[in-house]
C-alpha cells in the first residue's frame, strides 16, 4: 500500500531534484562505522538530512551503483578492499520514536488485550526503543535492549534473542524503494524467519530516474540487488508493568555482560544456531576457542563471537570465519550458516 499521508510530505514525483541537504564523505574508513572496528573504505558515504532527503538521494543514485544501508554496523564486515557504490548511514538520522495515535490504515488491534502502537524510524537505536516502551508501561520489546543495532537493522535482520524476534512485534513497516517511493507493507508481504527477512515479491528494478546522471544502465546491476529498505516500523506492544519491564532489561543486560566478550570489538554471534543445537557449542567442541589469525580471535568467552584484539583486518576476521566453517563441517558434518553480513571487495 502506498503511504499516502507521508507521500504528501515527500512527493518526489515529476519535479526537478532539489539540492541534497545531507552530506557526503569520500574514502571513508568503514571501521569507524562498524562494531568490529575493522575493514576497508567506502568510496562514498552519505548521511541524509531526513527522510525526504534520503528519498532524493536514493532516487539520484544511478541504477548500476549499489546502495548499502547501514545502521550501527553491529552485524557487518566491510572487506579491506573497500566498498563501492554509496553507503548510507541511518543511525541518528531517522530518529522519530513516538506512540502512534493514528488507527486509520493500521491493522486492527487484537481484542481482549490492551495494546498500543509505537512508531520507530529506522535510525533509532533498538535499545532506545526498548527503554522508551518500558517507560510508557508497554511490554514485549525488552529483548531489544541488548541488541546494539538500529531499528532498521533489527527489522532487516529479524533480530532477536531469548525467544523473541523483531517481527513478532511488528504490525507494519514503512519502506523506501529505489524510485524514492514510500510504501507501507504488512508482515504478510514478507517471508520472515530466524535472522531472515525477504519480500515475497521483489520490488521492480528502478526506471532510470530523470536526474540519475549519465551512464544509468539497469542491465549492469548486480544480481539480486536490494531495491527497498526499511525506514520505519510500527510495533504493537501490550500495556503492562513498566517497572517490571525496566527490571527485565536490567537483568537481560547483566546476563549479556556475563556471557559475551563485550570489552572487545565484535559483531555478536557470527553464525546462526543450527536447528536443535548451538553454533557456540559446535565451535567449542572443535577446540576452536581462542583460535587466532592476525588479531582476530574466536572469543575465549563465547565461541560464536569473533573479537578484534586490536588492529585486526577484515581479512583476518573473514579468514577466521572461513576456518571455523571448514573445521566445524569437517569434524561435525554441520555447515554453519553466517548470521553476519559481508560487503566489499577482498584486498
Ligand X SMILES: Cc1cc2nc3c(=O)[nH]c(=O)nc-3n(C[C@H](O)[C@H](O)[C@H](O)COP(=O)(O)OP(=O)(O)OC[C@H]3O[C@@H](n4cnc5c(N)ncnc54)[C@H](O)[C@@H]3O)c2cc1C
- 572487506: which residue's cell? 79
Other beta carbons within 10 angstroms of residue 195's beta carbon come to 21
Identify residues 137-176 at the interface with ligand X (CB under 6 A): 146-150, 152-154, 156-157, 159-161
Could you give phi then psi for residue 271, rounded to 5 degrees? -115, 150
Sites for ligand X among residues 7-46 (CB under 6 A): 35
Say whether 195 is catalytic: yes
Q: For residue 231, give the H/E element and its range.
A: strand 228-239
Spatial contact of 82 and 43, defined as CB atoms under 8 Å apart: yes
Residues facing 97 on adjacent strands: 120
309 binds ligand X (CB under 6 A): no
Q: How many residues bind ligand X (CB under 6 A)?
A: 33
Site string for ligand X, 240-279 (x = CB under 6 A): --------------------x-x---xxx-----------
Question: Closer CB to ligand X, residue 103 or residue 168?
Answer: 168
Please identify, using beta-carbon distances, which residue of 55 and 73 lies nearer to ligand X: 73
Q: Is position 70 an interface residue for ligand X (rule: CB under 6 A)?
A: yes
Cell of 186: 504488512
How far is Cα of residue 8 from the mean position of the Cα atoms in its chain? Answer: 27
37, 59, 195, 236: which is the annotated catalytic residue? Answer: 195
Q: Min. distance of Cβ 307 from ligand X in angstroms?
A: 10
The residue from 269, 299, 318, 325 that is catalytic is: 269
Instruction: Tell how far CA 288 is from the center of its chain.
Output: 28
Out of 72, 97, 314, 320, name the contact with ligand X by CB under 6 A: 72
CA distance linking residue 255 with residue 257, whole number of Å: 6
Q: By CB under 6 A, is residue 127 in contact with ligand X?
A: no
Residue 264 CB neighbour total at 10 angstroms: 18
Q: For residue 18, give the DSSP letter.
A: P
Question: Does position 90 bind ligand X by CB under 6 A?
Answer: yes
Q: Clarify whether 256 is annotated catalytic.
A: no
We find the least distance from the C-beta atom of residue 152 to ligand X, in angstroms, to be 2
221, 63 in Cβ contact below 8 A? yes
List the catalytic residues.
195, 269, 339
Give the binding site for ligand X (CB under 6 A): 35, 68-76, 90, 122, 146-150, 152-154, 156-157, 159-161, 229-230, 260, 262, 266-268, 341
Amino acid at each position: 500500500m502506498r503511504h499516502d499521508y507521508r507521500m504528501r510530505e515527500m512527493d518526489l514525483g515529476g519535479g526537478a531534484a532539489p539540492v541534497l541537504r545531507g552530506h557526503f564523505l569520500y574514502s571513508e574508513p568503514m571501521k569507524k562505522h562498524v562494531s568490529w572496528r575493522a575493514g576497508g573504505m567506502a568510496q562514498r558515504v552519505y548521511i541524509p538530512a531526513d527522510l525526504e532527503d534520503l528519498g532524493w538521494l536514493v532516487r539520484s543514485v544511478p541504477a548500476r551503483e549499489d546502495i548499502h544501508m547501514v545502521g550501527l554496523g553491529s552485524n557487518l564486515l566491510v572487506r579491506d578492499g573497500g566498498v563501492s557504490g554509496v553507503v548510507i548511514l541511518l543511525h541518528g538520522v531517522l530518529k522519530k520514536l513516538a506512540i502512534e495515535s493514528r488507527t486509520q490504515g493500521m491493522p486492527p488491534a487484537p481484542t481482549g488485550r490492551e495494546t498500543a502502537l509505537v512508531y520507530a524510524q529506522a535510525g533509532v537505536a533498538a535499545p532506545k526503543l526498548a527503554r522508551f516502551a518500558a517507560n510508557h508501561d508497554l511490554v514485549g520489546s525488552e529483548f531489544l535492549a541488548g541488541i546494539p543495532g538500529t531499528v532498521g537493522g533489527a527489522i532487516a535482520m529479524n533480530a532477536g534473542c531469548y525467544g523473541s524476534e523483531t517481527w513478532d512485534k511488528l504490525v507494519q513497516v514503512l519502506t523506501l524503494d529505489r524510485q524514492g517511493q514510500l510504501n507501507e507493507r504488512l508482515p504478510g508481504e514478507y517471508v520472515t524467519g530466524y535472522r531472515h527477512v525477504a519480500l515475497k515479491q521483489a520490488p521492480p528494478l528502478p526506471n532510470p530516474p530523470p536526474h540519475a546522471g549519465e551512464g544509468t544502465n539497469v542491465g549492469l546491476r548486480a544480481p539480486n540487488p536490494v531495491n527497498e529498505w526499511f525506514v520505519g516500523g510500527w510495533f504493537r506492544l501490550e500495556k503492562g508493568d513498566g517497572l517490571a519491564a525496566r527490571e527485565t532489561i536490567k537483568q537481560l543486560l547483566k546476563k549479556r555482560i556475563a556471557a559475551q566478550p563485550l570489552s572487545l570489538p565484535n559483531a555478536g554471534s557470527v553464525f546462526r544456531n543450527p536447528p536443535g543445537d548451538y553454533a557456540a557449542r559446535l565451535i567449542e567442541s572443535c577446540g576452536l576457542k581462542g583460535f587466532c589469525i592476525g588479531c582476530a580471535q574466536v572469543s575465549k568467552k563465547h565461541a560464536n563471537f569473533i573479537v578484534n584484539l586490536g588492529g585486526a583486518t577484515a581479512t583476518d576476521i573473514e579468514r577466521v570465519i572461513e576456518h571455523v566453517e571448514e573445521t566445524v563441517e569437517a569434524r561435525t558434518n554441520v555447515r554453519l550458516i553466517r548470521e553476519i553480513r559481508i560487503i566489499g571487495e577482498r584486498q
